[in-house]
Amino acid sequence: MGLTEETCRTLVQTAAEARKNAHAPYSGFDVGAAVLTEDGTTYSGCNVEVSNYSEGCCAERVATFKAISAGHRRLVACAVVAEMAEDPCGPCGACRQVLRDFGPDMDVVLGTPSGEVLSVDPLKELFPMSFGPEHVLASIRARHGKG
């Protein structure tokens, strides 16, 4: 995607700031995320846990849903910040799917709570052979003879 170093740093810093608002009383695993829309707007989010674990939401999806609810449909980048002892923390599978639907060509920037950029990778490398909206539409067209 060609993100500048400055853009990567800004996204990681925004994600690190959002991480401070994480609500993770059960896991203690605070995560922050920031997504960049194609018009340059940034939205942040943090993970939110609830007592029924499966009903919480990851930071990446919170940030994405904020962007979508504000009228954006295309994302170009997502930064994720969590405190890890060794390797950086990438998006979970569910988040990769949501990111894929709104930014198949996006870059994923992984960073630290102190704002350090650890890596920048194309989502396509983190989520190879993914399934997206175009596959659903092709299936619908094929079923209705409009293939």
CATH of the domain at 28: 3.40.140.10
Q: Say what the alpha-carbon torsion angle 9, 13, 18, 24 is, to the nearest 10 degrees.
A: 90
Question: What are the catalytic residues?
Answer: 60
Name which residue leads in pLDDT, 75 or 89: 75
Phi, psi of 96, deg, nearest 5:
-60, -40
Q: pLDDT by residue (tens digit) across 79-120?
A: 999 988 678 889 999 999 999 999 999 999 999 999 999 999
Residue 26 pLDDT > 60? yes
Core vs surface per residue 76-114: b (16+ CB within 10 A) or e = bbbbbbbeeeeebbbbeeebbebbbbbbbebbbbbbbbe
Q: What is the pLDDT of residue 139?
A: 79
Domain residues for the domain of 100 are 5-143
Give the span between the Cα atoms of 1 and 75, in whole angstroms: 11
Give the total number of structural domains in the chain: 1
Q: Which secondary-structure segment (H or E) carries 104?
A: none
